[in-house]
Structure 1
């Protein structure tokens, strides 16, 4: 008898009633997670951390709700999958503005005061997610992920959805922080609206928090992102039983590698050389160490034999 745990649930590969049901089930499942699993348990700082649990959950729920509307809008205007990929950045900006307008309305903070969205976080993988949700897995380009598109696990789409929600929430919170600009303004706004995380209730803790984020983002952009390109691993954020955690998924980055700058290319080249040379160097060092150890053992054994002979010679005198 086959255990239910061994049965892999696959995502529908074509627009159909089955796909609609899968999307509904996924959204219901995600809504349940948003109630209790929004605490950051990853090893990374998130801009989202500056908000208290209630506000954070409300923002995440707003994003999920607006995503439903976005999907319906895309279906209504009859965008095809290629157009979604082409207009990905524009769709994201419209979506972020829409969520911001709805979420910040109750704080009497107009989204027009927010900074323009310049650097979108491509780690939210929005184009792939929308393609899965609207068209099914067969519309995803082959060899992007580890499995064949027709056999895309349901949990893979779940991971993309959760990552998208968290990344968008993080982007919106970051946008708010940088729009308020000064630490005093951030502190005053969070305290006035009663939406601050208890860990960041003073100007000093907010400054420390933002400095940690800046340093983390610098390291990420200069080292981690390039290593991820090389190793073809994409770090995503998901909801677990403990809260928000990170997870690595396989993702082909051939297109991204073509767009990296010269410094990044040098680093990638160094990683290639390192992977080629280090194993060979390790083997050489091990062989040399074995040879030296062999010589040392022989030297010691011969020395001991000589000493024994000398002792025997003097004892026999």
Structure 2
């Protein structure tokens, strides 16, 4: 039986939120290894630190939700300022997390944090948690708002926590400016993943992340936009995995760069003409095969007749 998320503010919504946070809290302790085929900045942290960071994110997010409920924020206001809310949230969580480390170079990175892209879907997540599913635009997701599965909100929260934790780690890495500083800081703070204890391994790690970001931005993101879906991070039984969900991305499509528009145009052309070209090639191949078989058969028959003729002679 499908469990649905409450569609309005009431005691059922409050209970669902408590249950949701409790479930995620347990998952963060047990399953925060990256088991996807993609790199995360979080990968450079050891298990203890990664768990601690994600728990900070969850704890601060609980506080954020309670604060927004307390000030009785309107849904329209939430939609308008969701991007700013996210960036302020990242900054506050970042500040709290780095207090564990005595490193002056990690301070005053507010501008860097404010440049983070909004990929956490915080607008929809906060809407579900504060107002219930009735306030979600019916065009956004594949199902009717009043019949939003509980699991949908759960994976949105998992994605949010991992995305924010990853952004915070990214800010830390970028603020250290070079490989030597990164390596020194990680070792001195005892937060380094054993896979990345040398300068060379850190260089490879950061280069892979940059290349992945480039490919993702100009190819996979555009394809996802074209197909109206988005990759999200989820916490499975094995660890952190990726999954695609359907989501309307009409707003994003209006702000595409020229090169991305060209790529989408190419996808349109490909979808229109490639199937027809494939059919044509298959048809030509069938005719060629048919003619080849006939030619071969006729050649054999002629050879047999010639042999019979000479045998009679």
Runs (4+) off by over 6 Å: none
SS of match in other structure, 1:248: strand
Q: Which residues of structure 2 form unaligned runs of 5+?
A: none
Q: Is the 8 A contact 2:125 2:156 kept in 1?
A: yes
Cα deviation for residue 40 of structure 1 reads 0.7
Aligned mates of 1:197, 1:218 — CA distance in 2: 24
Q: Deviations over 1:47-98 (max 9, x none)?
A: 1111100000000001101001001111122211221111111101111111
Aligned to 2:134: 138
Aligned mates of 1:69, 1:109 — CA distance in 2: 26
Aligned mates of 1:299, 1:205 — CA distance in 2: 62
SS of match in other structure, 2:119: helix
Cα deviation for residue 115 of structure 1 reads 5.1
SS of match in other structure, 1:245: strand
2:50 is the counterpart of 1:44: no
Aligned mates of 2:86, 2:213 — CA distance in 1: 21
2:208 is the counterpart of 1:203: no
Aligned mates of 2:304, 2:187 — CA distance in 1: 85
Aligned to 2:69: 75
Specify which of 22, 41, 55 is matched with residue 16 of structure 2: 22
Aligned mates of 1:118, 1:83 — CA distance in 2: 20
Cα deviation for residue 109 of structure 1 reads 4.2
Cα deviation for residue 241 of structure 1 reads 1.0
Q: Deviations over 1:236-269 (max 9, x none)?
A: 1111111111111111112211111111111101
Aligned to 1:177: 173
Aligned to 2:90: 96
Specify which of 176, 189, 193 is matched with residue 189 of structure 2: 193
Q: Is the 8 A contact 1:115 1:175 kept in 2?
A: no
SS of match in other structure, 1:42: coil
TM-score, normalisation: structure 2: 0.97
Aligned mates of 2:151, 2:52 — CA distance in 1: 24
Specify which of 242, 246, 257 is matched with residue 242 of structure 2: 246
Specify which of 69, 89, 100 is matched with residue 106 of structure 1: 100
Q: Is the 8 A contact 1:53 1:197 kept in 2?
A: yes
Q: Deviations over 1:128-185 (max 9, x none)?
A: 1010111011111112111111110000000000000000000000001111112111
Aligned mates of 2:270, 2:115 — CA distance in 1: 32
Q: 202-211 vs 152-161, which deviates more? A: 202-211
Cα deviation for residue 28 of structure 1 reads 0.2
TM-score, normalisation: structure 1: 0.95
